[in-house]
Amino acid sequence: MQYFERHEGGENAILVHLDIHQISNPDDLEEFRLLVHSAGANEIETITGTRNKPHAKYFVGTGKAEEIADAVKCFRESNQTDDIVVIFNHTLTPSQERNLEALVKCRVLDRTGLILDIFAQRARTYEGKLQVELAQLNHLATRLVRGWTHLERQKGGIGLRGPGETQLETDRRLLQIRVTQLKAKLDKVKQTRAQGRAKRQKSEIPTISLVGYTNAGKSTLFNHLTDDNIYAADQLFATLDPTLRKVAWSGVGNVVLADTVGFVRHLPHELVESFHATLEETLEADLLLHVVDAASEDMHAQIAAVNDVLAQIKADAPILLVFNKIDKSGETPALYYQEPHKPHRVYISAQQNLGIDKLITAVQELLSGTVNHYTLTLPHHAGALHNTLHNLGVISHHSYDEQGRQVLDVQLSANKIKQLLGQYGLSATAVLPAEQAASLQPVLEPFEQISSDMPKITPPEELDPFCQ
């Protein structure tokens, strides 16, 4: 009787990357190494190769598979340890994993399994753990047969008749029951999130969601904007669990800022499905801040990868491109417009606190409209409006006229001031100068002046294909 039980994993990793023509990206290998490092593995050797198409049995071909097996054997003999795992930068079929493990005599992990392992390490909240377990079980569902090959057939002879596929079927049934339970629990989480969103929408509190490629600096920017201290590190998937904070944004009022999990190229479909409850914060957001690593040589491909995931979940909120890490890319803080009064991208450094004022201005314009200067003369009974304007942080000067009325210089959008005057039952002609009351139109310097002197590193013609 020949058994096939799955090998244990290890912290020492042999990396395998195959260059498949018309599929691979030149930067995939470097990102793969970062993923392995993020998982906490120790890279001992990297084996690369080139093929026109994957090999049906081993993915890498028989010769390269033997090379991997020799590398594992050499490490095992020289270090006297079985603490080793082979990690592929590709998605392997269950049969390919099984064939490779039988050949190399150690645990074999594909790209999906590696990302799931990282997610399992980083999940901290109840929801995050549920989502990771669901993704793991969905991935495992097609791989149960690997551990029960000795039960696949009935054996002849007295005392040799096994239970056939009973154990395998039992495992599949138990797995399906657990998946159903997890989905039910995630549905409850989804309902709770929906209730929270309904309350925010009822109170007209807008939601701003930070999205972007992993390690683009979303959590660092989130900490800076919210004065929080969530975990942020220079590694892939440093943050997994979504974090929401209510902050007072100058000129806009209270907003909910959401930090979400980062994306990567070739993000497994089961992860997108399992994390749909988390991604709904992105789906329901009023504004998306697409944080981009401006210092990355692979910036445009990363933008395209994020746009691909946003298209998968059908996110249609307005998007502001936030090019972060300009302290490393050599660019200067700047705000640029796709068309008059519509900010398109902003250049900042969350780490060095550069350009944050321009980011806030862009958010004000996208959520409330173009910000303008108004002079309000408030009647004596308008104390509530004064308190609201004070909480918004939009009062630049405060004085009194001869009749003892408050005279406020404020920076607000036309839409916002109309909303506030209507909310407190005040007439524009009663509190504003005649010309401001008549027009209430935003006044900006000419668009050509604003958008001149474009950055040389990322000209708009290079960005347009990715920034629709």
Structure confidence by residue, pLDDT tens digits, 276-324: 656 666 777 888 999 999 988 888 888 988 888 788 777 778 899 999 9
DSSP string, 245-287: EEEEETTTEEEEEEE---B-TT--HHHHHHTHHHHHHHHT-SE
Tokens representing residue 154 in the block: 């009935």
Specify the higher pLDDT residue, 459 or 416. 416
Is position 351 annotated in a ligand binding site? yes
Is position 156 annotated in a ligand binding site? no
For residue 197, the model assigns a pLDDT of 64
Instruction: Give the three-class secondary structure for 373.
Output: strand
Percent of the chain whose pLDDT exceeds 90: 13
- Could you tell me the sign of the dihedral formed by the alpha carbons of 222, 223, 229, 235, in that order? positive
Is position 304 annotated in a ligand binding site? no
Is position 261 annotated in a ligand binding site? yes
For residue 326, the model assigns a pLDDT of 93
Range(s) within the chain of domains with CATH label 3.30.70: 371-439
Average pLDDT of the residues in 4-14: 68
Is position 330 annotated in a ligand binding site? no
- What gap in Å lies between CA 311 and CA 322, rounded to an integer? 19
Is position 353 annotated in a ligand binding site? no
For residue 15, the model assigns a pLDDT of 92
Is position 325 annotated in a ligand binding site? yes
Is the model's pLDDT at 158 over the cut of 70? no
Tokens representing residue 227 in the block: 């004065």
207-212, strands of its sheet edge to edge: 243-249, 253-259, 207-212, 287-293, 319-324, 342-347, 334-339
Is position 209 annotated in a ligand binding site? no
Is position 233 annotated in a ligand binding site? no
Is position 239 annotated in a ligand binding site? yes
Range(s) within the chain of domains with CATH label 3.40.50.300: 199-368
Is position 324 annotated in a ligand binding site? yes
Range(s) within the chain of domains with CATH label 3.40.50.11060: 12-109
Which among 343, 347, 305, 301 has a CA at the least distance from the CA of 322?
A: 347
Is the model's pLDDT at 260 over the cut of 70? yes
Average pLDDT of the residues in 17-46: 79
Is position 227 annotated in a ligand binding site? no
Q: How many beta carbons lie within 10 A of that of residue 151, not counting itself? A: 18
Is position 350 annotated in a ligand binding site? yes
CATH code for the part of the protein at 371-439: 3.30.70
The model's pTM is 0.65
**Is there a contact between 358 and 334 (Cβ–Cβ < 8 Å)?**
yes
Is position 332 annotated in a ligand binding site? no
Residue 390, CB-side half-sphere exposure with 13 Å CA sphere: 9
- What gap in Å lies between CA 230 and CA 220, rounded to an integer? 8
Average pLDDT of the residues in 439-444: 46
Q: Which of 79-83, 251-255, 284-288, 395-399 has the lowest mean pLDDT?
A: 251-255
CATH code for the part of the protein at 199-368: 3.40.50.300
Averaged confidence pLDDT in the chain: 76
Average pLDDT of the residues in 401-424: 81
Is the model's pLDDT at 148 over the cut of 60? no
Q: Which of 102-106, 195-199, 220-224, 416-420 has the lowest mean pLDDT?
A: 195-199
Average pLDDT of the residues in 26-44: 82
**Is there a contact between 300 and 250 (Cβ–Cβ < 8 Å)?**
no
Is position 59 annotated in a ligand binding site? no
Is position 237 annotated in a ligand binding site? yes
Domain range 12-109, CATH class: alpha beta
For residue 103, the model assigns a pLDDT of 92
Is position 103 annotated in a ligand binding site? no
Is the model's pLDDT at 394 over the cut of 80? no
Is position 404 annotated in a ligand binding site? no
For residue 315, the model assigns a pLDDT of 79
